[in-house]
Structure 1
């Protein structure tokens, strides 16, 4: 039996996805579906759009432009679900048992975004205050250090 999901207001961000029945750990809740395209095509298509629901997958800079139920799964630094890629499909599955009425969340682990901060307001005790992945945060810190070094060298010349 598939989970019963509802969309309603969220204390994390706008609307969220909630379950109406108990979900066991490891339950595959839904698939992130939609048109597939390269990141380059998506960047051009949505250059003027403030909100997108793009999900990167694979190794070839591909994204899914998802406008289904998973677009209502909010980010949390203490998620109860996770995304998993299986043969080019993206599924959202539970990390633990989830009670009826709980909002379903997963870590977005954003990367390669034009956003300066991608602020997180999940409210979790361990909130990182950003939706960027730890790897992306390290990459950005390296870039900032390199820029600072280059600026210092240029100022010294």
Structure 2
């Protein structure tokens, strides 16, 4: 039996996705679906848009332009779901049992974003303060150190 999902106001951000029945650990909740395109095409198409629902997948700089229920899953640093890629499909599955009425969340692990900060407001005790992946945070710190060295050298 598939879970019943509803969209309503969220304490994390705007609207969120909630389950109306208890879900077991390991349940595939939904698929992140939408048109597929290269990141370059998406960057051009959405250059003037503030909000997008792009989900990167594979190794070829491809994204899914998500629309539908999964776009309402908010980021959390203490998620109850995870995204998993299987044969080019992105599924959202539960990490633990989830009670009816709970908001469904997963870690966005953003990378290669134009956003300077991608602040997180999940409220989890272990909140990192950002939706960027740990690898992206390291990459950005490395770039900042290199820029600082270059500025010092050129002064």
TM-score range, shorter chain: over 0.9
Aligned to 2:121: 121
SS at match of 2:124: coil
SS at match of 1:115: coil
Q: Separation in 2 of the partners of 1:148 and 1:66?
A: 37
* TM superposition shift of 1:94: 0.2
Aligned to 1:148: 148
SS at match of 1:104: strand
Q: Separation in 2 of the partners of 1:67 and 1:15?
A: 14
CA RMSD of aligned residues (A): 0.3
SS at match of 2:67: coil
Aligned to 2:85: 85
* TM superposition shift of 1:96: 0.0
Q: Separation in 2 of the partners of 1:46 and 1:148?
A: 31
Unaligned runs of 5+ in 2: none
Q: Deviations over 1:81-136 (max 9, x none)?
A: 00000000000000000000000000000000010000000000000000000000
Q: Separation in 2 of the partners of 1:133 and 1:144?
A: 17
Q: Separation in 1 of the partners of 2:7 and 2:137?
A: 31
SS at match of 1:146: helix
Q: Separation in 2 of the partners of 1:49 and 1:153?
A: 37
Q: Separation in 2 of the partners of 1:66 and 1:136?
A: 22
Q: Separation in 2 of the partners of 1:34 and 1:130?
A: 26
Q: Which 4+ runs in 1 deviate beyond 4 A?
A: none
Paired residue total: 155
| 1:4-83 map, 5 Å | 4-83=4-83
Q: Separation in 1 of the partners of 2:138 and 2:73?
A: 25
Q: TM-score, normalised by structure 1?
A: 0.98
SS at match of 1:56: strand
Q: TM-score, normalised by structure 2?
A: 1.00
Q: Separation in 2 of the partners of 1:96 and 1:150?
A: 47
